Amino acid sequence: MAWPFPRIFAHRGGGVLAPENTMAGLAAGVAHGHNAVEFDVMLSADDVPVLMHDASFGRTVAGRGNIALLPASALVKLDAGAWFDAAFEGETIPTLADALAYCRAQGVFMNIEIKPAPGRDKRTGEVVAAAARDFLKTLAGGRGGILLSSFSAVALGAARVVAPDVPRGYLLHRLKAGWGARLHELECVALHCNHELVDAPLMEAARSREVGVFCYTVNSLKRARELKAFGVDALCTDRIDLIRSDFFAERNS
């Protein structure tokens, strides 16, 4: 397939330069010249989509708790920046609406990973897909766009029902038997995979199915160049300071 999306995505917004899945992270990606970002979304207790990777507190949010058990009004007051650096203390958990508004204003393309808390796969897929569908209606030919992805086939299936026209990618950390059939079933346009899985046979299999190959998380130029030589379509990186948005256009890179 001819890849219609950006080719370099800033992982979780700011990669190694800012706290993940925050507005500061998104701004860091933009500040380093990236026009495409990847971030994770899960649901609060009252079904509001928020940017978060971990269902439980303790890593990026201090203390004990669970995203799926608190309303959005409480979540958006929590500090999601101090863990990264004192300079980001007070950086809070953003809602998906916050991120969409920022990316619209900046003309940034988004890979939104649907990241359901345990047991909330279907509902998370539905809510995130509906938000993506409604957002795309507002672009009216402007810059930006959305590619949904998820490790959860249930979430992707729900997204397909709610927003069939929003493109989807199937995330895999390890290849599973029948992955090609599942991609076809979910009507995905891309395989989003651990970059360690990429080799010539995988690329041949993807091409035979007419799907793109999007790799995560590539943090060295050496590996990025190897993947480029294999013919991958896109990648996301934490090293947004090292792997630039025009990497695929560079000669001898």
Does residue 80 fall inside a structural domain? no
Q: What is the rounded average pLDDT of the residues 24-37?
A: 97
Residue 251 has pLDDT above 90, yes or no: no
Residue 103 has which token pair? 């990316």
Who's near 98: CB < 8 A, 6+ residues apart?
23, 51
pTM of the model as a whole: 0.97
Does residue 216 fall inside a structural domain? yes
Rounded to whole angstroms, how far apart are CA atoms 129 and 223?
32
Does residue 61 fall inside a structural domain? no
53 is catalytic: yes
Q: How many domains does the chain have?
A: 1
pLDDT at 84: 98
pLDDT band of 177, cuts 50, 70, 90:
confident
Does residue 160 fall inside a structural domain? yes
Domain containing residue 125: CATH number: 3.20.20.190
Tell me which residue of 160, 158, 131, 125 sits closest to 146, measured CA to CA. 131
Catalytic residue among 32, 34, 53, 195: 53
pLDDT at 252: 59
Q: Is residue 162 classed as helix, strand or coil in its secondary structure?
A: helix
Rounded to whole angstroms, how far apart are CA atoms 136 and 57?
32
DSSP E strands, 46-144: 49-51, 109-114
Residue 141 has pLDDT above 90, yes or no: no
Q: Residue 223, exposed/middle/buried by CB under 10 A (0-12, 13-18, 19+)?
A: middle
**Mean pLDDT estimate for the chain:** 96
Does residue 129 fall inside a structural domain? yes
Who's near 133: CB < 8 A, 6+ residues apart?
162, 163, 165, 166
Residue 250 has pLDDT above 90, yes or no: no
Domain span at residue 231? 8-55+94-244
pLDDT tens-digit map of 202-212: 999 999 999 99
Does residue 218 fall inside a structural domain? yes
Does residue 252 fall inside a structural domain? no
Does residue 181 fall inside a structural domain? yes
Rounded to whole angstroms, how far apart are CA atoms 94 and 78?
10
